[in-house]
């Protein structure tokens, strides 16, 4: 027998002593009087006295039993079924043998708490995580003392049973939001593995908001199968505590897209901010954009510290966005100009508060530099055949107004009668080539060995070279030499043909730096399949150690779903010395011969072509610059200044924690620790000679899908679990938890109430019978 409220039973037992005390105190001492006639009735007196004593004892026993029964009824005992094992609320064993027997049979108790960013949502003046912590503590206090206890959350490194309740309580108190942790479904799978390794049954109490992100269909169905088909079948029971609901108002900054991470100070910066809102009514929201110089920021780069410095912002702009009822999206565009050279950080934030404040702010980092000077070499007439490239990178209007990010010198491969010696590409000296941040070779023919050597030296000293192969590469021996192979990192061996124009260029990963301009748009459906390709060059003899395939040539049919199908290299990046070489296997020249090769510049999605050449040009011009914006979980590599060797580097987190970061001397990069929290991070390093210091700031953001609050419908939730043994549970107090357990077991409450009523009637009857007036 187990008692829900043991204290009431003990109180009832103590109260039962009151009738005994009253009985003992009410016994008066007899007075002796001399009355001779009494000797004749002495025998009758003894008999009456014995009869009265018996009546009193019977009535005393009834009253004591009545009080004990009242305490027993208020304590609400119940009996566990043998088939279900020991319940949560179980009395401690009286003997050591019984305690050991129950310890081997008691199920383990595992409390699972979803610690995703969605659990920071406020409901009833408390976050969902705080509510989950209170409920988990209530369960912990009522768990059988002999049960094994585990507290699991989104942390990958904190799985296992805890030594005692004190450790479990401390674990609950330290729980915090983990933006990059595992989902609740993944944590539940790990809990099942823990039970399987321990070889015991278990009860899993899961605190979650039941969103689709926390319980993706694939992971949830795996958990359900483990409960119905695996070794843990009939050995595990799930209790879900649903902390979420669909009645909320929340706005979220889902995306901040920069025109470039390294932008020209003269051309300015364009920032597109996407805001998503869910609410029952129409509403206007204020969106604010702040931009700061790196040197104006404090050491601790927390979001609150940045907002507090809004008066020091270089740029501060606001826009009002109107939202309709329900779910809707709006995009605000900010154009920043008159910007200083150097590193800056920015923040987009929604003014005001809503259900989930953690998604109302988003930071970014950007670097402003002077306009890059580039050399474009094309077939004659060079100004015309290079028009697609030059207009994509620096439109005429921007060049005229001085807002262009690139400045171009355009030369033909062969000097004409009208050209001077200064316009002769083959006559360029190493010093003249060194004035350019990047060189573009459009549909190059056979290059003289001297020119190949000059380009090789230019790249090795930090230059950027882009080669777009076209029909002129078919010249016999054009790129057959060892010098050409060393420069390009691959050998153009033969031409590929697609007579029906059914091939397209398709990226392997948007994480490649050569495609950095696409990163803000990677969640969209970019129509690469509309950029049809008819002819291209096969690349062979790739130098695997220094060459990366960035994009492949694949069939346009379902190209987006062919990530597992290996294509042929279409765009490669080759590192040579301190510089980079980008090679694309199809041309972009504005001549008839090149246009028969592809539709890059003539399709309905020419913006993809513009973004592609812009991404390549920025990578080559500023490849020594670091990628400044990352998402949680990505590797952070910051490029150090050329010819600098650092002993150590330090990363300062948004919480002002200082972490060591190794320096890769061979690659010239600082490897920052993988970020666990979003925000702005600062990197500081001291050169080995102690003369130069390196300082940089980069931003880490949470993937926008982590803020998605869409929940499973009741029908979807039931379909996910099917025949798995689970039960929904609401826990606000210890009493409610006990009530759930009593419903599962046998509780003799009604019988005890009836017995108490009968005992009360018996006491009334006996009192009237024994002490009635004669």
- DSSP track, 638-687: EEPPTT--EEEEEEE-TT--EEEE-EETTTTEEEEPPPSS-EEEEEEEEE
What pLDDT score was predicted for residue 103? 45
Is pLDDT at 738 greater than 70 in this prediction?
no
Residue 746 carries which DSSP code?
B
Which of the pair, 405 or 23, is modelled with greater confidence?
A: 405
User: Would you state the pLDDT for residue 76?
Assistant: 67
Tokens describing residue 4: 């829900």
Residue 410 pLDDT > 80: yes
Instruction: Name the residue with higher pLDDT: 67 or 534.
Output: 534
Give the distance, in angstroms, between the CA of residue 702 and the centroid of all CA atoms in the same chain. Answer: 6
- Which range (207-221, 344-358, 369-383, 419-433) has the least confidence? 419-433
Average confidence score pLDDT of the chain: 82
Share of the chain above pLDDT 70, in %: 85
* 215: pLDDT strictly greater than 70: yes
**pLDDT at res. 38:** 55
Of the chain, the end-to-end C-alpha distance in Å amounts to 47
Asked whether residue 649 carries a pLDDT value surpassing 80, the answer given is: yes
Please, what is the Cα angle at 65 between 59 and 68, to 5 degrees?
A: 145
* Of 110 and 280, the one with more pLDDT: 110
Cβ–Cβ < 8 Å for 398, 404: yes
**Confidence class for position 12, pLDDT limits 50, 70, 90:** confident
Comparing 309 with 454, the larger pLDDT belongs to 454
> Are 289 and 271 a contacting pair, CB within 8 Å?
yes
Stretch 2-30: mean pLDDT = 68
What token pair was written down for 753?
Answer: 């109430």
Read off the tokens for 150: 């585990």
Q: Which of 1-5, 636-640, 699-703, 766-770 has the lowest mean pLDDT?
A: 1-5
pTM > 0.75:
no
Sign of CA dihedral 533, 536, 541, 542: negative
Looking at the DSSP bridge assignments, the partners of residue 342 are: 368
Within 213-297, strands assigned E span 236-242, 250-258, 262-264, 269-279, 283-293
pLDDT band at 478 (very low <50, low <70, confident <90, very high): confident
What does the pLDDT read at residue 3? 59
Q: Which residues of 42-62 are buried (b: 16+ CB within 10 A; e: fewer)?
A: eeeeeeeeeeeeeeeeebeeb
Cβ–Cβ contacts within 10 Å for residue 660, how many? Answer: 9
CB 506 within 8 Å of CB 554: yes
Query: Residue 234: enclosing H or E segment and its boundaries?
Result: none
Distance CA(154)–CA(72), nearest Å, equals: 43
Could you tell me which residue, 416 or 613, shows the higher pLDDT?
613
pLDDT at 263: 81
Q: What is the pLDDT of residues 158-190, one digit of tens each?
A: 778 998 888 999 999 999 999 888 999 999 999
* Distance, CA of 315 to CA of 206 (rounded, Å): 46
Residue 294 reports pLDDT greater than 80: yes
Q: How far apart are CA 627 and CA 619, in angstroms?
A: 10
Question: Which of 105-109, 383-387, 557-561 is predicted with the least confidence, judged by mean pLDDT?
Answer: 557-561
The mean per-residue pLDDT over the stretch 744-765 comes to: 77
Angle in degrees, CA 126, 114, 679, rounded to 5: 75
Question: In the structure encoding, which two tokens stand for residue 240, read together?
Answer: 């879900």
Q: What percent of the chain has a predicted confidence (pLDDT) above 90?
A: 32
Contact 469, 443 (CB under 8 A): yes
465-477 CB burial, b ≥16 within 10 A, e <16: bbbbbbbbbeeee
pLDDT score for 534: 92
- Position 643 scores a pLDDT of 56
pLDDT of residue 35: 57
The rounded Cα 113 to chain-centroid distance in angstroms is: 15
pLDDT at 36: 59
pLDDT at residue 745 tops 80: no
What is the model's pLDDT at position 561? Answer: 47
Mean pLDDT of 84-93: 38
């Amino acid at each position: 027998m187990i008692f829900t409220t043991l204290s009431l039973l003990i109180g009832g037992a103590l109260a039962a002593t009151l009738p005994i005390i009253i009985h003992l105190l009410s016994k008066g001492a007899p007075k002796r009087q001399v009355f001779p006639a009494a000797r004749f009735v002495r025998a009758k007196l003894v008999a009456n006295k014995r009869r009265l004593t018996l009546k009193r004892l019977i009535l005393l026993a009834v009253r004591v039993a009545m009080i004990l029964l009242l305490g027993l009824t208020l304590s609400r005992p119940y009996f566990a079924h043998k088939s279900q094992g020991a319940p949560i609320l179980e009395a401690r064993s009286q003997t050591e043998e019984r305690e050991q027997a129950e310890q081997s049979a008691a199920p383990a108790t595992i409390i699972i708490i979803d610690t995703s960013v969605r659990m920071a949502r406020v409901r009833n003046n408390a976050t969902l995580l705080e509510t989950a912590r209170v409920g988990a503590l209530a369960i912990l206090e009522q768990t059988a003392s002999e049960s094994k206890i585990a507290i699991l959350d989104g942390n990958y490194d904190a799985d296992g049973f805890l030594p005692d309740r004190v450790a479990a309580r401390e674990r609950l108190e330290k729980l915090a939001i983990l933006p990059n942790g595992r989902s609740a479904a993944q944590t539940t799978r790990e809990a099942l593995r823990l039970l399987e390794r321990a070889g015991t049954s278990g009860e899993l109490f899961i605190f979650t908001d039941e969103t689709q992100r926390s319980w993706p269909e694939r992971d949830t169905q795996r958990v359900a199968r483990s409960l119905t088909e695996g070794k843990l079948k009939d050995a595990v029971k799930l209790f879900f505590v649903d902390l979420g609901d669909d009645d909320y108002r929340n706005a979220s900054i889902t995306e901040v897209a920069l025109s470039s991470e390294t932008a020209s100070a003269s051309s300015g910066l364009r920032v597109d901010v996407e805001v998503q809102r869910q609410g029952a009514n129409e509403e206007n929201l204020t969106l604010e954009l702040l931009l700061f110089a790196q040197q104006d920021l404090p050491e601790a780069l927390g979001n609150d510290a940045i907002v507090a410095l809004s008066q020091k912002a270089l740029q501060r702009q606001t826009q009002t966005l109107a939202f309709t009822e329900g779910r809707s999206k709006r995009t605000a565009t900010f154009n920043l100009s008159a910007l200083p050279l150097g590193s800056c950080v920015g923040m987009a934030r929604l003014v005001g508060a809503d259900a989930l404040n953690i998604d109302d702010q988003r930071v970014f980092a950007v670097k402003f530099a002077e306009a890059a000077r580039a050399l474009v070499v094309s077939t004659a007439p060079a100004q015309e055949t290079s028009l697609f490239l030059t207009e994509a990178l620096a439109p005429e209007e921007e060049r005229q107004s001085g807002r262009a990010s690139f400045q171009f010198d355009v030369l033909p491969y062969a000097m004409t009668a009208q050209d001077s010696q200064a316009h002769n590409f083959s006559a360029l000296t190493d010093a003249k080539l060194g004035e350019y941040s990047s060189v573009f070779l459009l549909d190059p023919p056979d290059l003289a060995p001297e020119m190949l050597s000059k380009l090789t030296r230019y790249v090795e000293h930090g230059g950027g070279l882009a080669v777009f192969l076209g029909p002129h590469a078919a010249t016999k021996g054009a790129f057959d030499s060892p010098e050409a192979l060393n420069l390009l990192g691959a050998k153009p061996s033969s031409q590929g043909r697609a007579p029906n124009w059914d091939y397209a260029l398709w990226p392997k990963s948007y994480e490649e730096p050569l495609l950095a301009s696409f990163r803000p748009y990677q969640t969209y459906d970019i129509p690469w399949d509309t950029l049809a390709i008819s002819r291209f060059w096969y690349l062979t003899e790739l130098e695997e150690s220094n060459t990366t395939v960035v994009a492949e040539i694949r069939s346009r049919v379902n190209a987006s779903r062919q990530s597992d199908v290996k294509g042929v290299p279409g765009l490669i990046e080759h590192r040579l010395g301190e510089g980079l070489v980008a090679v694309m296997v199809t041309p972009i020249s504005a001549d008839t011969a090149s246009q028969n090769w592809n539709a890059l510049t003539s399709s309905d999605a020419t913006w993809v072509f513009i973004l592609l050449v812009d991404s390549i040009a920025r990578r080559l011009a500023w490849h020594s610059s670091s990628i400044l914006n990352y998402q949680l979980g990505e590797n952070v590599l910051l490029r150090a200044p050329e010819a600098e060797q650092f002993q150590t580097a330090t990363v300062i987190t948004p919480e002002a924690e200082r972490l060591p970061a190794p320096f890769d001397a061979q690659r010239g990069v600082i490897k920052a620790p993988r970020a666990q929290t979003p925000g702005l991070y600062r990197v500081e390093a001291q050169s080995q000679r102690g003369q130069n210091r390196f300082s940089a700031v980069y931003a880490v953001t949470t993937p926008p899908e982590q803020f998605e609050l869409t929940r499973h419908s009741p029908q979807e939730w039931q379909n996910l679990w099917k025949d798995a043994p689970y039960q929904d549970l609401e826990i606000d107090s210890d009493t409610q938890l006990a009530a759930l357990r009593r419903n599962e077991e046998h509780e003799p409450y009604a019988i005890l109430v009836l017995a108490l009523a009968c005992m009360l009637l018996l006491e009334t009857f006996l009192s009237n019978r024994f002490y009635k007036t004669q």
